[in-house]
Amino acid sequence: MIYTVTLNPALDYFMAYDQIEVGEVNRTKITRITPGGKGIMESRMLSLLGTPNTALGFIGGFTGKAIQESLAAQGITTEFTQIFGQSRVNVKVKTLETETSLDAAGPDLTEEDVRNFVKTFDRLTSEDIVVFAGTAPKSLGDSFYEQLIKLVKLQDANFAIDVDGQKLLGTLSKKPLVIKPNREELEEMFDVKFETKEDIIPYGQKMLEMGAQNVMVSMAGDGALLFSDTSVYFAAPVKGIIKNSVGAGDSTVAGFLSEWSKSKDPVKAFKQGVACGTAKVFSEDMPSSSYLQKCLQQIEITKLV
């Protein structure tokens, strides 16, 4: 089983405009409300791929109820920890030129909330994968992911993690199954600037040396890299019209884990991951299964090292 962990779920309220006039009344052309949070996006993609998974996290209030009902309607299994606080609402504003996110902080969590949530990890087995993604509520502190990773390792399960910067580097010694920083995040982590994809190679290899089992580095319109064992692979970019980049990285991780859980082949997993991320970017919300397969057929993988 794959478990996705979203510690701070949200309802994402999307609004689209040709342009925004600050200080004026702006009337949207399109609105859409969907359950959001990085782990939830991964569960949505995993379910689209037909891969069994369970979404974990904290939810509460009428927004939490809406999140759970929406996921249930999509056939997604959830085992959220119910809290007294209110799950957040994030506003995503898209114009012809930019995408802007207005994200809420999220609810405070009690010690009882945390105890109830942590009990979920008692059931893990060596066949399971837990995906940690996104920021944790401030009330949990900076070390909460580290505590959860220890619980995963105690059960001999695998984990993947998608968090920012130095927090990501701090988890590598625990041997995550896969990580997926983008080029800009990698530049910030190592305080460098990359001019070519070849410039990235030493840093991807360094993260393998630090403990990551597989490293994917996304480069937006310039494709993506996979570092696995002693090899480096390049996925050429697919051309298309960008419609909604929210959740593209999460979809890439989900696609990788879906295939890896079946074949244990990192290159096949990389190809499917890139296809899922690509299909997500070129779709208003989640892609259709047929469009996902079309994108998969267009992905070309080349071995660089």
Catalytic sites, residue numbers: 250
Which residues are within 8 A (CB) of 260 and not within 5 positions of it... i.e. 6 or more apart? 177, 178, 266, 268, 269
Distance between CA atoms of residues 101 and 259, nearest Å: 31
Distance between CA atoms of residues 291 and 245, nearest Å: 16
Distance between CA atoms of residues 169 and 167, nearest Å: 6
What residues form DSSP beta bridges with 4? 55, 131
Distance between CA atoms of residues 36 and 8, nearest Å: 9
Contact 137, 107 (CB under 8 A): yes
Contact 254, 287 (CB under 8 A): no
Distance between CA atoms of residues 254 and 276, nearest Å: 8
Estimate to the nearest angstrom the gap between the alpha carbon of 40 and the chain centroid: 8
Q: How many CB atoms lie within 10 A of CB 263?
A: 12
102 backbone dihedrals φ, ψ, rounded to 5°: -115, 95
Distance between CA atoms of residues 150 and 68, nearest Å: 28
